[in-house]
Amino acid sequence: MKRKCDYCPRLLMEIDYYGQRLIGCAECNRWGLPDDKRLIMEMPDRDLEALRKRVGGWLASFVERNYRNNEGDETDHDARDDDVE
């Protein structure tokens, strides 16, 4: 089962951050290691802005499809976020 952000209703994404796998929320800027129970790291503003630009359009449409309507296929999520740096 996919994990949701503790601060908003979005699913967490997994990214490669300079060679380290992190999970987190690009909207709330909360990040951690895949096994962490709490996401306590914050990404620097410059890196967060670049990530948001990269996934921004996709993230907006994903949220629209999956949360406002409470419908949708969550499998879309993995295809786009695995290679975000």
Model pLDDT for residues 19-74, shown as the tens digit of each residue: 999 999 998 999 999 999 999 999 999 999 888 888 776 656 665 666 555 544 44
Distance CA 14, CA 17 (A): 9
Q: Apex CA 75: angle with CA 5 and CA 53, to 5°?
A: 60
Output the pLDDT for position 55: 79
Q: Determine which helix (DSSP H) or strand (DSSP E) holds 34, and give its type and residue range.
A: none
Q: Determine which helix (DSSP H) or strand (DSSP E) holds 22, and give its type and residue range.
A: strand 20-25
Output the pLDDT for position 54: 82
Output the pLDDT for position 73: 47
Output the pLDDT for position 78: 45
Q: Where are the domains of the chain?
A: 13-81
Output the pLDDT for position 63: 59
Structure tokens at 82: 């695995």
